[in-house]
Amino acid sequence: MTCNCFMSLSLSIAVIMATALASEIRRPVCDVAQPALGNSIPLQGCAPDSEVAMTVRTLSHGRYQDQQKAVGRLKAEAGRSTLCRKQVIASLMSAMDQPKVDLTAGTPQFFLWHYGTQVLGELQATEALDLLIANFDRHDGSGFPFNHYPALGGAIIMGEIALPRLQTALRENPDRFTRRLTVFCIALIGGRSAHQILRQALEGETDPCVASCIQASITAFKNKRRPHHISDEQRTTWYATFLCNGE
C-alpha cells in the first residue's frame, strides 16, 4: 500500500510538472562555446552579429535577471524583420549545436538550452527542429519527468507547425527512445492533425513501448470537452505509460 501511494504521488507530481517545461535555477559558473559572430557588418535594420552573439552568451553566463532580459531582447530583435529573425535563430543554433552537449543542471550549456529552446519555440523556428530532435534525449541529470528535457519544450511550444517534422522523426528515427519522446511531443501539441499522425504511426510501430505510448495518447484524446487533446481525467494514466516499466 505504501509503495502504491508513493508511486501515485510521484506520478501526480510528474503530471503537474509536465506542463511546466522550464524551471528557474541559479546562474552557472563554467564556460560554454560562444556563437559564431559572423559578419560584423549589421544586416539592414538589425543589430550587429556580434551584439546578438553577446546576448546569446548572456543566456549561459548572466545572472537570472540578465538572462530574462536577454530572452526579451532576442525575441524583440527577431520581431523587427524576417532577416533579423533569421539572424537570431542562426546565432542561437550556432551556440547550441556543439559536439558534446552537457545539460547537467547548473552548467552554461544547460542554461543556454533552457532559454534557447524557449526562444526558438516561441519564434516557431522550424529550421531548428532537426537540432532539437537530435537532442531530445538530453536532460539535466533527472531522467524523469520530461520537463527536464529542454529540447522537448522547444518543439512543444512551436505547436502544430512542428508536427510534419515530428511525424517524420516518429516514422524514420531508428532510436526508440527518441521516437517515444516524439510521441510525447505530438500528444502534448494535440489537435486533429496530431491525432491522425498517431493513428497512422501505430500501424507501423514495431517497438512495444513506443506503440503503447501511441495507444495511450490516442485513448487520452477521447476528450469531449477538448477533442484531440489529452484529457485531465486521462493525464496521469497517459503520463505513466511513458515510463515503459522502467525501460
- The domain in which residue 173 lies consists of 160-247
Least confident of 5-19, 108-122, 214-228: 5-19
pLDDT digits (tens, 9 = 90+) for 119-154: 999 999 999 999 999 999 998 877 677 788 999 999
pLDDT confidence of residue 246: 61
Percentages of the chain per state (helix, strand, coil), in multiples of 5: 65, 0, 35
Looking at per-residue pLDDT, the higher value among 11 and 231 belongs to 231
Residue 11 lies in a domain: no
Q: In this structure, are residues 218 and 198 in contact, taking their beta carbons and an 8 Å threshold?
A: yes
Residue 177 lies in a domain: yes
Residue 72 lies in a domain: yes
- What's the CA gap between 185 and 142, in Å, rounded? 18
> Dmax of the chain from CA atoms?
67
Task: With a cut of 50, say whether residue 33 has pLDDT above it.
Answer: no
Residue 2 lies in a domain: no
Looking at the structure of the chain, the number of domains it has is 2
Task: With a cut of 70, say whether residue 205 has pLDDT above it.
Answer: yes
Residue 192 lies in a domain: yes
Looking at per-residue pLDDT, the higher value among 138 and 27 belongs to 138
Task: With a cut of 80, say whether residue 5 has pLDDT above it.
Answer: no
- Examine the domain organization and report whether 246 and 182 are in the same domain: yes
- Examine the domain organization and report whether 116 and 170 are in the same domain: no
- Identity of residue 179: R
Per-residue confidence band for 26, with pLDDT thresholds at 50, 70 and 90: very low
- Examine the domain organization and report whether 166 and 235 are in the same domain: yes
- Examine the domain organization and report whether 166 and 118 are in the same domain: no
- Examine the domain organization and report whether 60 and 110 are in the same domain: yes
- The whole-angstrom distance between residue 182's C-alpha and the CA centroid of its chain comes to 10
Task: Say what the pTM is.
Answer: 0.81
Residue 146 lies in a domain: no
- Examine the domain organization and report whether 167 and 216 are in the same domain: yes
- Examine the domain organization and report whether 106 and 164 are in the same domain: no
Residue 7 lies in a domain: no
pLDDT digits (tens, 9 = 90+) for 45-78: 899 999 999 999 999 988 999 999 999 999 999 9
